[in-house]
A and B are shown apart, each in its own frame.
Chain A
């Protein structure tokens, strides 16, 4: 019974972890290559979900909606890069924070105008409905398993792209020394654009995947953005590997903390007090973890080399 409960929560934690990885990967790539802090990455996640709502309404097919939403998210990411972000690469971080904060204000409100403030949703595709039986009669939704697997597959793909392809080599070189790469005749601006579009698409993918199990509403990207920040700070800014490890740690710690912290406190505290303290500590847990990591390693677990 308890073992099953733990197993379910571990799976939930992994699912949150891969979701965070998808968002954090784009964020950390963009920062690593361009030294650009993009607060608007969370609204790109939100936009992915909203686009999927619309395309699902048009096509009635989850997978068609997924592909169309990814293409639209990519196009929109490139548009944002062209209109706003490319003017900010040479500015200091404060300017980047403010301008991308402006993008958040605009898009959160724009979404409210276009799609309304009420939460929206779209169903889990037929293919992925149902549950996988765990021990003693408990099941785990197939869709969530599919999320975990697709996240892991994306991580492998990303690893392959970054370490085994020419573009990946340029990305790594660009993260280490953009001027040198530029001097060698690589169009660094175009490289930025590719990385940026790809990051936007990953965030959009996370948004599309989480649409059926979370409500699609304005501001849904803000919480994810901040968790993704915690992830890349712990993992080391610019490091994909760090983002992956940290995303899984954060996903597990947050989920397990929220599920079991109150019970743990009940073991050595009065139940009433535990009910008060448990949730409060559980919601602080990942930030305490972050503080702990940074106290011993101010640049994160896997600091990107060359920076």
Chain B
């Protein structure tokens, strides 16, 4: 397992890696424009949106050891909130963004209240099933495109301004969201609340004996993660200007787990690194062959069998050695 919570934040890689990442991400649009690679800005915007979703999953998966296999549903619900609002001619982000987060949070509250009554494999399968429920429900919304999805004919506005219209502005807004979520979650896992969550992960019975109610703490973490994933979904809808049930498919939930594990669980910056690595790998391999999954599948198996700690642990090891 990873180093105890809080230790990561205090030691070297816990500060250095996020700082370096922030500087690199902040510099990217300027470099991309100079090198005439403006598509890179668009691609990295998408990567950072998924990084936000992966961050939220790391809170419950990495710190809480809740293996949620339905996390894409929250992203999809956030996206659909924006899409459905746009279908009713509601474009004001100051209304729709909180709405998206609330909708995802509400879904997390209801499904979490049932799922968290169970443990282990049951929890994995139930979250998977609830994710599928959201997927099929979205597919049956014939008024909002059904299976085919819903095309938005404009992007969200904020108090009359259209910040998502410009690529670079959109990029920096997403970066700000990512940084904001990161700082928030860092503070959360270092707080008393975060320590209780980690304590339940290590020894549920003992936490109960000390007088905490693990169920309520886990449910709160689950809802927070759902709301942040909903934010990612709202951004994703604006990025693609399109929402579709495929955002909620169980493969997408699997992708998010891969991102978190690939980067190293329970570190937060690992989730960001994992999202970058996974989507870059997908991008790179799919240039190489349309059947990139035939390469990625075995690669994933090898990673699970032989490289357990993820990219984050490699960095940490490199950092402490050098």
Contact = CB atoms under 8 A, between A and B. Distances in A.
Contact of A101 (B126, B129, B133, B254): B254
B160 to A, nearest CB: 33
Interface string B158-194: 0000000000000000000000000000000000000
Given A95-B304, A226-B250, A280-B137, A237 B121 contact: yes
A31 interface: yes
Interface in B14-69: 61, 67, 69
Given A280-B137, A283-B140, A294 B117 contact: yes
A84 B124 contact: no
Nearest to A106: B297
Interface stretch (A109-117, A125-133, A142-150): A109-117
Interface string B239-262: 000000000001100100110010
Contacts of B139: 283
Contact of A105 (B121, B140, B293): B293
B81 to A, nearest CB: 16
Contacts of A95: 304, 308
Given A93-B120, A279-B142, A109 B128 contact: no
Interface in A254-301: 276, 279-280, 282-284, 287-288, 290-291, 294-295, 298-299
A99 interface: yes
Contacts of B122: 233, 237, 294, 298-299
Contacts of B216: none
A233 B128 CA distance: 11
B304 A99 contact: yes
Contacts of A284: 133, 136-137
B291 interface: yes
B74 interface: no
Interface residues of B, number: 45
Contact of B300 (A101, A110, A113, A229): A101
Which size bracket describes the interface of A in this complex? 35 or more
Interface string A97-110: 11101111111111
A98 B298 contact: no
A87 B301 CA distance: 10
Contact of A226 (B114, B120, B132): B132
Contact of A109 (B120, B141, B142, B294): B294
Contact of A106 (B136, B258, B298): B298
B118 interface: yes
Interface in B81-135: 111, 114, 117-118, 120-122, 124-126, 128-130, 132-133
B299 interface: yes
Given A287-B130, A291-B114, A294-B117, A97 B300 contact: no
A81 interface: no
B296 interface: yes
A102 B296 CA distance: 7
A98 B261 contact: yes
Contacts of A222: 250-251
> Interface on chain B toward A: helix, strand, loop, or mixed SS?
helix
A37 B251 CA distance: 16
A31 B120 CA distance: 12
Contacts of B210: none
Tell me which of B121, B136, B254 has the highest count of chain A C-beta atoms within 10 A of its own C-beta: B121
B191 to A, nearest CB: 25
A220 B317 CA distance: 42
Given A102-B300, A233-B129, A93 B142 contact: no
B120 A98 contact: no
B297 A103 contact: yes
Tell me which of B67, B298, B304 has the highest count of chain A C-beta atoms within 10 A of its own C-beta: B304
B143 interface: yes
B305 interface: yes
A294 B69 CA distance: 17
Contacts of B120: 93
B142 A105 contact: no
B5 to A, nearest CB: 18
A280 B305 CA distance: 41
Nearest to A295: B114
A58 interface: no
B300 A99 contact: yes
B133 A287 contact: yes
Tell me which of B61, B300, B301 has the highest count of chain A C-beta atoms within 10 A of its own C-beta: B301
Interface in A221-257: 222, 226, 229-230, 232-233, 237
Given A97-B69, A237-B122, A103 B133 contact: no
Contacts of B257: 94, 97-98, 101
Contacts of A294: 114, 117-118, 122, 126
A50 B61 CA distance: 36
B124 A93 contact: yes
Interface in B281-296: 291-294, 296
Contacts of B293: 105-106, 108-109
Contacts of B301: 84, 99, 102-103, 106
Contacts of B69: 97
22 contacts: A91-B304, A93-B120, A93-B121, A97-B124, A97-B257, A98-B257, A98-B261, A102-B297, A102-B301, A105-B300, A106-B294, A106-B298, A109-B291, A113-B291, A226-B128, A280-B137, A282-B140, A283-B140, A284-B136, A284-B137, A291-B114, A291-B130
Interface of A: 31, 37, 84, 87-88, 91, 93-95, 97-99, 101-110, 112-113, 222, 226, 229-230, 232-233, 237, 276, 279-280, 282-284, 287-288, 290-291, 294-295, 298-299
